[in-house]
C-alpha cells in the first residue's frame, strides 16, 4: 500500500477540507472529547507539535480523529470497505504497531495513544520501516468507541494496558462492561479482541467481564510463553522486561461471533 508523492498532496488537501467540515459540525454539537486538546497546549513539545506538523499526514489529534468516525477507510486510508481495518489501543513505543503493519500490508492499522512521545515514536517507527498502511491518533481509550461507527472495525489489540492495581484506581481499568459492550458493536462479525497483561489480578478481572459479555473466548492462558500460543506471539518491549523478571504473561482472545 504505497502512496506516491502526488497522491500525498491530493490526500492532504482532501483531508483538510473534510476535517474542517466535520470539525465545524461536531463543535456545534458540543461533543466532549474527554481529553485536553492539543491546540490548547501553551508551549507544545516537539512531540506535541509533530502530530499536526511533521507527521500530520499520518497522525491525528483528538479533534481530527473524531472527524473521521465511520470514514477511516474511505477518507484516511483511501481503500474500499472490504479492506480489513485493525486497531491497537495503547501503542507504547510502537514495536508491535510497526510489526503488525509490516506483517499484514493488506490490512489497515490505526493505533491509539494518549501520550505524545510514544504516539510519534510509534508512527515514526512504522514509517521508517516502509509502512504506508498505518496511522495513529490521540484519544482517550476509555471512550475509544466514539471514533467508529458500528461494524467498522476488524481486530482489536490491547497489550499491557495500565493495570491500576490500587483498589481505589481499579475503576479506571480499560476492560469493563461498558467498554466491551461498545466495542462489540463497533467490530465486524468474526473479528476478535486480543488482550495481554502481566497483572494476574487485572487478567482475572478482565476475564470475568469478557465471560459476561457477548464475546466468545476461544483462546486463554495464564502462562503465554509456556502455551501453544507462544510460537505465534510477538514479544513486545514490555514483555521482554517481564520475562527477565520471570513474570508470567496472561493472554486471551475473544471473538465476536
Catalytic residue among 162, 198, 219, 223: 162
Of 13 and 98, the one with more pLDDT: 98
pLDDT in tens, 72-115: 999 999 999 999 999 999 999 999 999 999 999 999 999 999 99
Residue 52 appears among annotated catalytic residues: no
Q: Which of these ranges, 7-21, 39-53, 92-106, has the smallest mean pLDDT?
A: 7-21
CATH number of the domain within which 217 lies: 3.40.50.150
Set of cell numbers at residue 2: 504505497
Please give the tally of structural domains in the chain: 1
C-beta of residue 221 within 8 angstroms of C-beta of residue 207: no
The predicted pLDDT at position 218 comes to 98
| CB-based contacts of 123, cutoff 8 Å, min separation 6 | 55, 58, 59, 94, 97, 111, 134, 135, 136
Of 208, 211, 196, 209, the C-alpha closest to 250 is 196
The predicted pLDDT at position 29 comes to 38
Set of cell numbers at residue 106: 493488506
The predicted pLDDT at position 2 comes to 45
The predicted pLDDT at position 184 comes to 98
The predicted pLDDT at position 147 comes to 97
Model confidence at 35, pLDDT cuts 50, 70, 90, reads confident
Residues 182 and 176: their CA atoms lie apart, in Å, by 10
SS (H, E, C) 40-66: HCCCCCHHHHHCCCCCCCCEECHHHHH
Alpha-carbon distances of 229 from 173, 191, 220, 239, 243, rounded to whole Å = 25, 18, 9, 15, 16
Residues 240 and 247: their CA atoms lie apart, in Å, by 10
Q: Which domain holds residue 53?
A: 5-255
**Sequence-ordered strand ranges (E) for the chain:** 59-60, 85-89, 108-112, 134-137, 156-159, 192-197, 216-221, 250-255
Neighbours of 204 (CB within 10 A): 11
Angle between helices 200-212 and 177-186 (to 10 degrees): 60
Residues paired with 197 in a beta bridge: 250
The predicted pLDDT at position 241 comes to 93
pLDDT in tens, 208-225: 999 999 999 999 999 999
Q: Is the pLDDT of residue 24 over 50?
A: no
Residues 172 and 153: their CA atoms lie apart, in Å, by 24
| Rounded mean pLDDT, 226-250 | 95
pLDDT in tens, 153-210: 999 999 999 999 999 999 999 999 999 999 999 999 999 999 999 999 999 999 999 9
Q: Could you tell me what percent of the chain has a pLDDT over 90?
A: 85
Amino acid at each position: 500500500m504505497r502512496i506516491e508523492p502526488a497522491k500525498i498532496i491530493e490526500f492532504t488537501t482532501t483531508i483538510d477540507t473534510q476535517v474542517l467540515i466535520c470539525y465545524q459540525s461536531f463543535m456545534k454539537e458540543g461533543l466532549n472529547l474527554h481529553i485536553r486538546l492539543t491546540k490548547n497546549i501553551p508551549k507544545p513539545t516537539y512531540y506535541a507539535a509533530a502530530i499536526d506538523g511533521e507527521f500530520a499526514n499520518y497522525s491525528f489529534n483528538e479533534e481530527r480523529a473524531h472527524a473521521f468516525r465511520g470514514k477511516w477507510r474511505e477518507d484516511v486510508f483511501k481503500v474500499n470497505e472490504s479492506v480489513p481495518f485493525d486497531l491497537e489501543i495503547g501503542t507504547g513505543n510502537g514495536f508491535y504497531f510497526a510489526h503488525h503493519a509490516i506483517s499484514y500490508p493488506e490490512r489497515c492499522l490505526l493505533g491509539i495513544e494518549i501520550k505524545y512521545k510514544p504516539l510519534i515514536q510509534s508512527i515514526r517507527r512504522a514509517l521508517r520501516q516502509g509502512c504506508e498502511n498505518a496511522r495513529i491518533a490521540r484519544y482517550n481509550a476509555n471512550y475509544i468507541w466514539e471514533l467508529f461507527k458500528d461494524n467498522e472495525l476488524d481486530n482489536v489489540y490491547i497489550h499491557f494496558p495500565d493495570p491500576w492495581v490500587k483498589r481505589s484506581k481499579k475503576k479506571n481499568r480499560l476492560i469493563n462492561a461498558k467498554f466491551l459492550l461498545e466495542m462489540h458493536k463497533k467490530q465486524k462479525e468474526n473479528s476478535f479482541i486480543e488482550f495481554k497483561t502481566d497483572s494476574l489480578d487485572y487478567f482475572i478481572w478482565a476475564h470475568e467481564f469478557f465471560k459476561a459479555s457477548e464475546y466468545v473466548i476461544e483462546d486463554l492462558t495464564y502462562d503465554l510463553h509456556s502455551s501453544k500460543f507462544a510460537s505465534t506471539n510477538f514479544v513486545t518491549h514490555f514483555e521482554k522486561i517481564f520475562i527477565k523478571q520471570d513474570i508470567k504473561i496472561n493472554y486471551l482472545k475473544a471473538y465476536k461471533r
